[in-house]
Structure 1
Amino acid sequence: MNQYLLLMVITVLSVISCGDKRGEDFRTESPVNPGGFPDGDVPQMIVLGSDDNTSVDGMNWILDFMASRSHKDGTSLRMSFYSNSRSSSDWHLPENRKLVEVHKRAYNLGHELGNHTSNHAFCVYGQTGEGQIRITRDSICRIVNDFSHDLVHLVGMNPKHIVGFRTPYLAWSDSVFYVINNKSFWYDCSITESRHGPGRYIWPFTMDHGASGTIGSWWTENHGTSVGRHPGLWQLPCYSFQAPDSLFAFMDSVAGRTHNGLITGLDYNMWSAPRSGWLLNKDQSLAVLKHTLKLNLEGNRAPMTIGMHSQYYADDFNGLGFQNISKAVDRRAVIEEFIDYALQFDDVWFVTGAQVIHYMRNPVDKKHFNPDNYLFTK
């Protein structure tokens, strides 16, 4: 009996020591904010989430710019970086030491470093019936573990701070969610959300009942990627942007059909060629981001997410054929001018994905919101 009681005590202490409240987390999909506040009293959070981050210059640019700005309340701007350590730029090679150092800089400034797998692998490649390749849970586990290992041992992160995940290419599968939930990640931010539009989007939710936005979606139907139950795992959707009416005619001409103005919420999808993108120029891109924020502020104020790739903003980046925004200075201007525009508002804050999840657990109205209260303590 004494041995049994000792085992129970050890078990309870081990659960308490985790300290991340995942076992208590449950939230259904809902457009209502977690505090039940009037929409106008909710802090508008904006998450800049940058993928890959293979350029020292690209990361230093956005870190420098954000450090040069502050919110109306004097607090610092922060963002999330979802990186790879063993893909096109191997962190273990001496020539990439500066890339490790700039990730250390980001972490020490209070930004979030999330997991984007070590090698930027396609977890699902190809449609069903076309020789589709799907990597196994064991393989997913390995590339997730490898990157978390590198964050801890090369960057010096506290392993408890590695809580966010984004699937490369947004090519998610149920196996991905199974692995990261069992690895005790707090959240994933891979599932796109276009239903209802900005100002009416669902807030982040836990995947206890899967994710209804995946049912009947193009990705699910064409890739056989139905989603099961993953209790306690948060989904911070990759929210789509909404173009203003003035751009509809242009977008119709690009698409060759009538379009609703929704754009998958990443820089790549604004700038690349069809079918993935919309060939937007600088002014059009800025108009899309401003209009999306306007709708959010006038609506339910669910978080606004902006997917980035910091390497796209370096002067030496010349790939992917962004033919209507070919100069890095123009791409940087889109982000810089949008940040300055958003900072004109009293109740807008640039935060990390992890801060959003902290907020979902402990919501307050905008008068009592301090983003620093939702940061990790080292």
Structure 2
Amino acid sequence: MKVFIQTLVLIGFLQVYNVDSARENSNSKVDVNLEMAEPCDFLKCSLPNCRCSDVKLCEKIQTEKIPQFVTVTFDDAVTALNFEYCDKIFENIRNPDGCSPSATFYFNHEYTDYTKIHFLWTKGHELALHSMTHGMGTSYWKEATVDVFLKEFGQQLEMIEHFAKIDKRDVKGMRVPHLQISGNDSFIAAKKLGLLYDSSWPTTRFTSPPLWPYTLDYKSVQDCPIGECPDASIPGLWENPLVSWEDTKGYKCAMLDACIHMPNDTTKDLVNWMISNFNRHYLTNRAPFGIYLHSAWFQKGEHYFEAFREFIRYLNKKPDVYFVSASQVIEYMRNPVEGKPFKECPRKHKSTCNAKMCQLRKIDSKDVRYMNVCGSCPAVYPWIENPLGLKITTF
């Protein structure tokens, strides 16, 4: 009976991401020039540019001396609402080294406020790619080729630099919408775009102890609950796995939105549940603890946001817990040390944003979109194949 229930919950977990029926085993999209990944050789794979997939950090650092990283990540458009949430979450919070906390925003283009993107950047938060269009369901991403990923994520890079006035070299990571990776293709695209890491791949198997980030030089031991997962060697590209949470009945959920069996909607019960998930990291191997969510999750219950803030304050009382961005985790992974993880605080940027609100039309549907940008307005609403909105169209 328990196996049957677990099967139903896994199906429900996948349905949260609208996953279609499993892809047939096919190598039709695999680049024939790619070398297939071999089992990891711990002697050949060494830092700072190669790391085997493993639940251990390294032998030279005692577990209790490993800094516990917490990564708060938001998916989808950045709006005034989730901008405000981030401000309130980290209000009066400092890391043990005196540095400001950092969150990571995996944002897509449509409905994003590029002035808010700019100001998040000036505050030291990380901006990462989540595609131009967000696609048209999971099948779009499941069938996407390298060229599609290069357009969706490469053209988004152009937009970030142009409309948010952010140096695109500061954009280091990506997450595929719905966590629907496409075999090797999204990872190849990430490598071609010069990104440092991907964070699209959940694990339900390696949760206690959790899986540490690793590179894709060699074959990964990570399970593939959504699939299709990579099998090629993609040297130097880091994978920052999404270690699943457990709901109150022990079923796995890659993002908070996907947790089915929630505690009672009281601050105390919600905080205790969050702490129990945190302890699977903190009391085992200290692998980074990821909090993956959409800001709409805070509105699902009366006490969700209040409980989340209380949980952050609880963590902040610990002398070895650091709120960092996903790219900071990778920075640490390349040179792990005891205690204080970084030599200096992340660099903050001065604002260069001349904010402007633009009323635009989409070329395909002629729908009106309002778009806040830093600088001048585009001629039409930017979209894939026209990321800067340069085409003049008469409506």
Q: Does 1:365 align with 2:369?
A: no
Partner AA of 2:197 in structure 1? Y
Distance in 1 (alpha carbons) for counterparts of 2:272 and 2:88: 24
Distance in 2 (alpha carbons) for counterparts of 1:44 and 1:23: 20
Distance in 2 (alpha carbons) for counterparts of 1:154 and 1:103: 9
Q: Does 1:267 align with 2:263?
A: no
Q: Does 1:342 align with 2:341?
A: no
What does residue 119 of structure 1 align with? 133
Pair 109,298 (structure 1): closer, same or farther in 2 beyond 3 Å: same
Q: Does 1:239 align with 2:238?
A: no
What does residue 154 of structure 2 align with? 145
Residue 207 of structure 1, CA deviation: 0.8
What does residue 187 of structure 1 align with? 197
Distance in 2 (alpha carbons) for counterparts of 1:189 and 1:71: 23
Distance in 1 (alpha carbons) for counterparts of 2:137 and 2:332: 30
| Contact in 1 for aligned 2:203/2:244 (Cα 8 Å) | yes
Partner AA of 2:121 in structure 1? Y
Secondary structure of the 2:166 match is coil
Partner AA of 1:138 in structure 2? D
Residue 156 of structure 1, CA deviation: 1.2
Residue 262 of structure 1, CA deviation: 4.1
What does residue 355 of structure 1 align with? 328
Deviates more, 1:303-312 or 1:61-70: 61-70
Q: Does 1:301 align with 2:310?
A: no
Pair 169,280 (structure 1): closer, same or farther in 2 beyond 3 Å: farther
Distance in 2 (alpha carbons) for counterparts of 1:287 and 1:331: 12
Q: Does 1:43 align with 2:50?
A: no
Distance in 2 (alpha carbons) for counterparts of 1:133 and 1:77: 34
What does residue 119 of structure 2 align with? 105
Partner AA of 1:190 in structure 2? S
Pair 210,63 (structure 1): closer, same or farther in 2 beyond 3 Å: farther
Pair 61,196 (structure 1): closer, same or farther in 2 beyond 3 Å: closer
Distance in 2 (alpha carbons) for counterparts of 1:286 and 1:23: 37
Deviations 1:259-311 (Å, cap 9, x if unpaired)?
Answer: xx1432412112xxxxxx33554445433320122232211100000102124
| Contact in 1 for aligned 2:70/2:322 (Cα 8 Å) | yes
Deviations 1:11-52 (Å, cap 9, x if unpaired)?
Answer: xxxxxxxxxxx9961000122214730100000000001101
Q: Does 1:166 align with 2:175?
A: yes
Deviations 1:216-249 (Å, cap 9, x if unpaired)?
Answer: x3423xxx54532211110111011245xxx3xx
Distance in 2 (alpha carbons) for counterparts of 1:58 and 1:269: 19
Q: Find the partner of 1:135 among 134, 144, 166.
A: 144
TM-score, normalised relative to structure 1? 0.73
Secondary structure of the 1:32 match is coil
Secondary structure of the 1:213 match is coil
Distance in 2 (alpha carbons) for counterparts of 1:151 and 1:171: 23
Distance in 2 (alpha carbons) for counterparts of 1:109 and 1:41: 29
Residue 118 of structure 1, CA deviation: 1.2
More helix by share: 1
Deviations 1:101-127 (Å, cap 9, x if unpaired)?
Answer: 21111100000000011111268518x
Pair 84,63 (structure 1): closer, same or farther in 2 beyond 3 Å: same
| Contact in 2 for aligned 1:48/1:350 (Cα 8 Å) | yes
Give ranges in structure 1 of 5+ residues lacking alignment. 1-21, 92-98, 127-131, 252-260, 271-276
Secondary structure of the 2:238 match is strand
| Contact in 2 for aligned 1:122/1:168 (Cα 8 Å) | no
Distance in 2 (alpha carbons) for counterparts of 1:336 and 1:28: 35
Residue 335 of structure 1, CA deviation: 1.9
Report how many residues are paired.
Answer: 301
What does residue 278 of structure 1 align with? 261
Residue 168 of structure 1, CA deviation: 0.4
Secondary structure of the 1:156 match is coil
Pair 372,265 (structure 1): closer, same or farther in 2 beyond 3 Å: farther
Pair 285,168 (structure 1): closer, same or farther in 2 beyond 3 Å: farther
